[in-house]
């Protein structure tokens, strides 16, 4: 059994995830995510839609550091997709919490700063 399958079995056995969350973790295994990436997805604080948004970021070529920008329980799935889209378009590898809040429309920031590429 490979490492991803072992990880999947541990997630199933731990009792912290519902069936929909388990399905999203399994989807990550099928996408070929690394164990490090799967650990980011398999957080019981995420619902299945958030887990899908995280897997989607990896599937679309974002790095682990880029996905970590929005892989936070306080962001809803649609907010995660908005941040993901910005990271894809700009190639940025990091954003502050304040920048993320601006991108999803709940904060104020200097727009000249946020649109400047790293």
Tell me: the pLDDT tens digits for 9-22? Answer: 999 999 999 999 99
- pTM here is 0.84
What's the CA gap between 58 and 101, in Å, rounded?
22
The mean per-residue pLDDT over the stretch 76-100 comes to: 89
Residue 43 has pLDDT above 90, yes or no: yes
Total domain count, the chain: 1
Residue 7 has pLDDT above 70, yes or no: yes
- What DSSP string runs through 24-71? HHHHHHHHT--HHHHHHH--TTS-HHHHHHHHHHHHTT--HHHHHHH-
CB atoms within 10 A of CB 85: 13
Residue 111 has pLDDT above 70, yes or no: no
Residue 48 has pLDDT above 50, yes or no: yes
Mean per-residue pLDDT over the chain, rounded: 87
- Of 4 and 50, more confident: 50
Residue 1 has pLDDT above 70, yes or no: no
Range of the domain at 57: 3-114
Q: How confident is the model at residue 101 (pLDDT cuts 50, 70, 90)?
A: confident
């Amino acid at each position: 059994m490979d490492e991803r399958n072992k990880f999947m079995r541990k997630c199933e056995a731990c009792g912290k995830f519902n069936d929909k969350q388990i399905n999203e973790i399994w989807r990550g295994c099928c996408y070929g995510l690394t164990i490090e990436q799967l650990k980011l997805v398999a957080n019981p604080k995420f619902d299945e839609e958030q887990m899908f948004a995280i897997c989607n970021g990896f599937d679309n070529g974002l790095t682990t550091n880029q996905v970590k920008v929005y892989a936070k329980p306080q962001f809803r799935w649609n907010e995660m997709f908005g941040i993901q889209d910005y990271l894809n378009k700009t190639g940025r590898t990091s954003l502050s919490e304040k920048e993320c809040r601006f991108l999803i429309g709940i904060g104020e920031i200097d727009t000249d700063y946020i649109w400047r590429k790293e």
